[in-house]
Structure 1
Amino acid sequence: MSKSISSPFAVFVLGSPRSGTTLMGALIGSCSNVADLGEYGGFYLSHAVAHEELGTMPTPYLADYLSSLREHSEVFAQSVALAGNASCYVDSTPWNLLVAHELARQLPDAVFVLMLRHYGGVVQSLARSDVSKHSWAGRNWRERAAVWRNVYQHALDLPMDRTIPVGYEALCREPAGTIGTLKNALRARGVMADTMDLGMLAISHATDPRHARPVIGRRSGDGAVAVRPIRTWDPSGWSRSIRQEVEEEVADVDAMLRSRFPSAYWTPSGGEASFFRSREGALHGSR
């Protein structure tokens, strides 16, 4: 499948914060026909933030202005792609999932890569955040779980025929197979996935370099990159009381993701039977 470079299309990498969106955006952005916008934010700004900030302003031009702003978010992204002779661009702003329905309607040829990470790993990662800089990360376990829930409850707003679900746990536990499946899906949608730089997997994409994260890629002396499984959560940092507090917040969305994405939404490995509530009829067994 080929896309016209005169009208670059969007690839959105979205999901909960700390679900691997930055890594996946960099990986897809390394493909030769992709312009990497990083966490661009223009689409989220125009669809959510601007409306929230200006929605009560007494002006007859608000609707027209917001429409123009949304159009500009697309035009700007396309201009970056065209400047780099790219046929598509990738935006890895995780919050775009909150406006997935609007993005799907605005951009009928956009591709959505949905990063799915179990709530256990996400809330642990958020707990390591500096809340003075990232107040949205939550001050306690329930608030962190709410971050996860409030984002993933919009997963069903994505057009499934244009969505590529990628499990974070699958990527970490079975990296070679998961990346192979991803490449096939991207290739079918016009991304030159064979030019992907696997060196991105050997880099920690943590916002704060003082808190580097484990990586699934390891570069050898000759520059080749080999992948290896890594752990996605820390069982020693979990307890029955934390589980109860978190699960009260996430249970409904967790069940929805298990039902809709059984092959991509996995439970963390490492004693999960002792920490995560088993659910009758779970579709992916030990996963």
Structure 2
Amino acid sequence: MASGDVIWAQAWSEPEAGSDLARLRSTAEHTEGGWRLSGQKTWSSRAAFADRAFGLFRSDPAADKPHRGLTYVMFPLDAPGVTVRPIGRLDGKPAFAELFLDDVFVPDEDVIGEPGEGWRVAMSTAGSERGLTLRSPGRFTAAAERLARLWRDEADPADTALRDRVADAVIGARAYELFAYASVSRIAAGESIGAESSLNKVFWSELDIALHETALDLLGPYGELADDAADAPAHGGWAEGYTFSLAGPIYAGTNEIQRDIIAERLLGLPKGRR
């Protein structure tokens, strides 16, 4: 996994369980030496070209709460009983897929954590994803450096409002980098990130959009050209990056859900939607 020789997909969301992941209905039934997986997953990240997947499955349908009785399982995408149906994107690039599992056998050794404790493992995964591993600092510091070069080459020095937006993007990228270093230091010391990872996820996803919007405003009408167009400016690539940035507030848990977590678990505000 670390070397990239094996590509992994995330098999969490289902047609009836997206942000409310605990409502998932795919099942894991214990059998001799392993488990039988059945059900459907959708919007599975990288599943269109991945080798293996990890996902949550309901192993105890009689559990008293939806987030209990779930098991976290790994499985190969070329296993008998697995059907991968790619989901097309507007840019034509492969990424997501639907997964259909029909009595797919996986051995006991491919369960992560304890059977029935999958929710705890999944929340640990999500916390790491939102707070540290999903978006490396280099993604934003490199983009901020490109934005600064674009400003120097293309901008009107008299446009101080746009200049300030460029400065905000550079500062935000540096702040995210420092936060990532702090998080790594805490984890190395045996601490955990916890619910504050939701703060980080909201921050970097909105930074990404603002940074790309600033670049497109700098480019003006040239920003609408395809990045490989013959008359596109030398500072290309912003339109495609902007399109992808719009997904940031959605994946890894929508920002609306993250704000609920921030309000309830960090600020101690009452749960308002019942």
Scaled by the length of structure 2, the TM-score of the pair is 0.24
Between Structure 1 and Structure 2, which shows a larger proportion of helix residues? Answer: 1
Between Structure 1 and Structure 2, which shows a larger proportion of strand residues? Answer: 2
> Which structure: larger Rg?
2
Instruction: Determine which structure has greater relative contact order: mean sequence separation of CA pairs < 8 Å that are 6+ residues apart, divided by chain length.
Output: 1
